[in-house]
Structure 1
Amino acid sequence: MNKKIVALLMSFVMLLSVILTGCSGEKKAADTSKADEKMKVGFIYVGPIGDGGWTYSHNEGRLYLEKELGVETIYKESVPEGPEVEKIMKDMIDQGAKVIFATSFGYMDYVEKVAKEYPDVKFMHCSGYKQGENMTNYFGREYQARYLSGIVAGLKTQTDKIGYVAAFEIPEVVRGIDAFTLGVRSVNPDAKVVVRWTHTWYDPVTEKDAANSLLDEGADIIAQHQDTAGPQQAAQERGAFSIGYNTDMKAMAPKAYLTAPIWNWGPYYAEQVKAAMDGTWKSDSYWGGMETGTIQLAPMTELVPAEAVAKVQEIEAKIKDGSFEVFAGPIKDNEGNLKVKEGEKLTDEQMLSIDWFVEGVEGKIKK
């Protein structure tokens, strides 16, 4: 064969080899990049992470998630409960988020809408009730810890008048007020719980003012369903006592603070994201009780009577082993109507939609 032709053929073979090797190397690099890509998880908060309460507790869960699974997280704080949350979710998806936790009740309808538009993204909505193939709802049975904190308040009050600073007239808040009042009256049938609505989640001034108005009316203990320590600080300034919420806020009002129902979201967040990562995630409705650790009663302070400590420990053990139900009959509403008969209890569906106050509550619910 002509030497020139042989040389040309050898050059062609070498060139083809280089091209194929280059293509193989590019494919390998692309595969490695895909394998090294981290799961990205988005969190949407209704308040600032520095609120010390609700949003702070969720953010602690986010940090726990990062530590446990090594995933990348992004978050947006102080997002209003309105259409704006749709844009926030879509922005997070554009950044690569494959799982989104929306942590306030008012986001529910918007989460449902966006979930339908992005079937490959997992959406988890806190405190709501709607579900879809890629949308789940989650919460904790906070009413159990509320009941226990009511026992503390019922045995601590001297005036038999307990103030309750409440956010919005939604089932979550109403259920908590009812459970708290049932706890109060289980040990002190003469006590009353007076409700003051603020229609805020995070407004320290408004919430503190509401607490002061209750103190003016003779309350000597202030409970709350708010994200700030404002009500507890009002109690301390007036020489009264307080029951907190969301986190242990003893440092905010050490001379008033008794205890609080508190949240521990981290393990649940890690469990859900791990399931999304390994392909086992399924939409469901999670409502973890005290036995799961999602909802807890913060350590009672030295201001709590020994009698109350013993009673709380007794009932907490029964709640955890399933032998005690908070909403077991007979239960009347605050207008005297029998709502739960002897031997019966409210179902989860009834608790999730509750819109009436139990006997012992002074207040009204706008419907």
Structure 2
Amino acid sequence: MDKQKSFDDDFEDKIMALDYDSLAHIFMWLPVSERIVMENVCHKWKQACQRSWYDIKEYNCGVSIDDDEKILLRCGVYIRELTLTEVCDSSILSIVGERCKNLTKLEFVFDETSRKLKDLKIKVQSGARAIIILTELENLECLELNYQELTKEAIIAISNNCKKLKHLEIPYCQIKSCPFSLDHLSKLQYLEYLDLSGIKILQDSTIILIADECKHLKYLKIKGSNQLTEVGFEALTSFENLQKLSINRNTAITNNFVEKFKGLRVLNCRGCINLSDAGIIQVIKNCPDLERLDLCDMDKITLDTIIAADLATKNRINDIVLHIHISNWTLHKNSESIIESQWLLTRFFSTS
């Protein structure tokens, strides 16, 4: 018993003799939640723990609201990528805005049935926590806000303050003000990826301004119904560097629009029921690097499109295979029997 006590005392003395940096290095092997517990051992360990957080570059909030806040208070300055889950509520946003100054990616992940983050409103009020994030996280490069309610003030805050954004997703957001507030997104001149899917009030003016100002845009999603007319669709053809376009389920899209596209690598037009062989064939001819074409749920597409794709790809020298997605089983089987090009594949997708 005395020997064991002597050993324990000796071991404790050696641990306590370690300097702060050595203790911090040991604590860095612990999960982040346990590092907080170590602070309660003694004053020296508390001081050492404060030096053990610089290795945290990514963090997914999801432990508990209290623990997540404690962790962000300690390592927020070092975090580059942060994910807020349904465990969080709006109280954590002020800590993110105050401590996480070096974020390059902020993601909100929530369940539609969740009443926490889904109820998070981004709007201008005196001391509004969400706006703190938008105005102070100047290094953000990626922002995803799905199924949110966005006010004009929130959109302006994103556009004016998050100047480094390259990736912005606001699909199926409800715009709770003037529909032309989305025009402010054209200020984000470094955008490469933009998702405006499911925004029913999307106007021609927004697309026109984005086409004029966002010269780096490579991927655009505007799936679902919206307020775009031929004027807006025409503006889509003026994007200089656009490589991927998703316009699924838009019944206003016609051949006159798509046949003007050049340089696309991906075109998703599933459910665009007014497109026919003529328009799609012209897309294939205009886009020699086309690698994916989604033609599911399009009754006006026939074997003529597959024959034209076979001829267009047969002499490709870019080693790019064109994958055509179709949901018509008969068309898929008939295609297999006539395709000769090694650079063309059809894939069947059941959408029933």
For Structure 1 versus Structure 2, the TM-score category normalised by the shorter chain is under 0.3
The higher relative CO (CA closer than 8 Å, separation ≥ 6) is in 1
Larger relative strand fraction: 1
Larger relative helix fraction: 1
